[in-house]
Structure 1
């Protein structure tokens, strides 16, 4: 009798606490950035999720667990239904007469999952047999030379072919697209074409060094030049031109710089007319070679650049002609989506809207992610790519793991498909043998709706391996929820 009384008393206390939490969520969501889209159930749920996550409910979770109830740890796609189900169970335990929301129907409880699946179908096409996570592959330049590579990738399990518009040109892109369409017809599956416009990506141009094979080490200096040939001297042994000349003029002394997805970290030491000298603070063991066409990230520098360049506007003509999906680099604000749609309409895209993938690679995009999703969902099929290379270089490697989890949660709350990208099975793709760490990383990618592989000599084998791995993980996990199929190892 004592245990029953204690449980009833605890349930009554938690019931009152959760009713107050529910009301706070409703009040805060009504004032959030998502408040104007109450007709979109996914965005309404996102508002509830953001409001909930402003509260620390860790103590509440443990007390719910002790009563045998849901800890609410997997409610991303169903915030109010989960709270209402818990409240209904608490009211029974507490034998309270206080007004409690009705227990949600099972269909309503899992409606968020159904919305996410519908959005994934609209964006990526049919779900592959045996796995829910699609496989995207970046096509190399040689994919334009003939049909064999693309057909091999399709047979291995590729669901989306990615064309990086930072490389090659319209003739090659058209050839790649044609080979993808032919391969899809042969294997009997709908394989989508994603064309990724380059945006204002800052890269090294021509490079120079006093010694040809020299590698950058901590303590070395590099001269970055806005125009003209790179210039070295006795004091500064390395120099590089940059693809975006105005970058040099907007730097400040003390600004950090990361090179080639974080293989090197530096700080701006001095500035002069048309050039900046950076001091290397950290590099990988053995040093880093200064090469052309490598990315530069400036986490402290506000460049104020449009996400669409003149090259992008030209490339969009071919994108409209060939693609099913458009990858939008450096999108950071809701207005950036309006800008893209204006340009697409100007180039004649009207009756065949392209699916949109927003690449999250900058801190401002993280900050504005809820507004970006609320705006983009109104235009048609939409997804988010966690561009882990640039994102890590912008926010720091130590924060990447945390942020990729948060992006997955936010996307699930808004029923937005998510792509896990950058360096997935990187050693496997390049060398033919995966590392243990990257196999674990690839397995965790099963929580996303799509995982992206980069190009490399062993990419076909990597797709085949990933196809099998995703199939196995499909039996063990759905998003954050372990699915307890019978174990066969013991």
Structure 2
């Protein structure tokens, strides 16, 4: 019985609860039916491209999630919470089972027969297994793995690699845009030796340089520093710009061809912002609108971006194809820079298959998301790569932030994490993590907060620097402490000691 009072209030409350549950059931059931229809339509396109049977369930869940996120779930969350049910905020990795479970609970509260729809099969350990496969397995330590970029001196210093492993490095990154194949081979040899000594496999990720637009040459050779209001030129060839202005040529003419008056151009990872004031067939004149306090000098090798523009360039450069000769037989992962389309992914896979070594699997693919087009195409890129080889995603926050605007980066990196959890694909949190500590020996408060946020990814990447060893130890301590409180998006409700007066528990993860 519902129970009654003189006013009948308790009975009325129970009746309202059943009515509310029934109304929510109808809304959620209609939502689920729409998701199934849209998901089936997307899977009809995706399924023929998936040759790995173990990736099919992940693709299905991603299709479900994309269909689900077309809807506004916010109006359902409050009513579900008042009934003590899941608010659907943590369903990314298991969309259909969560919907089915909530529908069954609503049916029970409403006093109606539960639906008989069989839940989709999911494996809660899938993402962890894929993390371990890509970024290294270890019996202890934090959930999030640490990948360290090796400096050039690592080619001649095996003790440095061993020390980084002892400090907590789980995987290593070799940037093929720097050094030479003989240096890469030496680094790989040191990594394999360090892995044998540690009794575990330590993965090697090798970054293809890709078609990043950089300054190729500068006239004069040592131009003056540029400040806000100063003008300079970008030209198709040396000497093509106005002689009175500092002039830089570019590694790829595609950016110069895309310039028009009013277009914004950024240099050196966004340190300078400039606007095109005039164009000619072989050059463009720009005016700096924002520059560092000390100014910025045009130098060969500095990156140049045209935010928001889609530059149609081949993702694989001749240098990348040459690098693959060593990468394919020796690397565990190929980090694919500036990937934008499924055609880019197909070209990489074909190039890798042409260099395949008998009895050795091809490296996994790490999709580096650095452009707006790559971001928009991310679901299809994941399917195209994951349908053939193990796949991960790197949030390359440097170029991506410049391209989409830094004010949007915090939002977009969250959405990438959600999407990849739905696809059960491991994520690398990259670019300038604890950069101040690695280079100067001291991290800022903002960098420490950023490092703590990285714990929600499966791997976090550190760049090289003279203080990299203490930085690895520091990061490992942060990740271990954050593991006490968060698992992906879920809060861990373990006991808190700070305000209870209880003795502090031991902290073996403290550096």
Task: Identify the TM-score tier after normalising by the shorter chain.
Answer: over 0.9
Mapping for residues 66-81 of structure 1, pairs under 5 Å: 66-81=82-97
Structure 2 match to 1:269:
277
Give the whole-Å Cα distance in 1 for the aligned partners of 2:31 and 2:295.
53
Residue of structure 1 equivalent to 2:215: 204
Aligned length: 482
| Deviation for aligned residue 1:34 | 6.8
Is the Cα contact below 8 Å between 1:133 and 1:449 reproduced in 2? yes
Structure-2 separation of matches of 1:127 and 1:64: 39
CA deviation string 1:274-326 (max 9, x = no partner): 22212212223443332221111122444311100111111111112321111
- Aligned equivalents of 1:160, 1:36: Cα separation in 2: 31
Aligned-pair CA distance for 1:439:
0.7
Tell me the equivalent position of 2:17: 7
Q: What are the residue-to-residue correspondences of 1:142-157 with 2, within 5 Å?
A: 142-157=153-168
Taking the aligned partners of 1:321 and 1:80, their CA distance within structure 2 comes to 40
Preserved CA contact (<8 Å) 1:223 1:278: yes
Alpha-carbon shift at residue 254 of structure 1 (Å): 2.7
Partners of 1:200 and 1:413 in 2: how far apart? 30
Question: 1:487 aligns to what?
Answer: 496
Distance (Å, rounded) in 1 between the aligned partners of 2:278 and 2:44:
44
2: CA distance, partners of 1:182 / 1:411 = 33
Query: Partner of 2:197 in structure 1?
Result: 186
Shift of 1:264: 1.2
Q: Counterpart of 1:310?
A: 318
Distance (whole Å) between structure 1 residues aligned to residue 478 and residue 131 of structure 2: 20
Cα displacement string for residues 193-243 of structure 1 (whole angstroms, at most 9, x for unaligned residues) = 11101011111123346985x432222111112223686744x2x222222
Q: TM-score, normalised by structure 2?
A: 0.90
**Residue aligning to 2:335:** 327
Take 1:103 and 1:248, find their aligned partners in 2: how far apart are those partners? Answer: 56
Separation in 2, partners of 1:456, 1:372: 32
In structure 2, what is the Cα distance between the partners aligned to 1:153 and 1:198? 24
> What's the counterpart of residue 31 of structure 2?
21
Structure 1 CA distance for aligned equivalents of residues 108 and 92 of structure 2: 25
SS of 2:125's partner is: helix
Report the Cα distance in structure 2 between the residues aligned to 1:246 and 1:380, rounded to whole angstroms: 31
Deviation per CA, 1:307-356: give whole Å up to 9, x if none: 00111111111112321111001111112111111112223446421111
For 1:65-103, what per-residue CA distance to the aligned partner results, in whole angstroms no more than 9, with x for missing partners? 111111010110011111111111111111124x52468
Partner-residue secondary structure (3-state), 1:223: strand
Q: Which of 294, 301, 306 is the aligned partner of 1:298? A: 306
User: SS of the counterpart of 2:400?
Assistant: helix
CA contact (8 A) 1:210 1:232 kept: no
CA contact (8 A) 2:310 2:372 kept: no
Contact 1:230 1:241 survives alignment (8 Å): no
TM-score (norm 1): 0.93
Q: State the alpha-carbon separation in 2 of the partners of residues 100 and 211 from structure 1.
A: 74
Asked if 2 retains the 8 angstrom alpha-carbon contact of 1:113 and 1:415, the reply is no
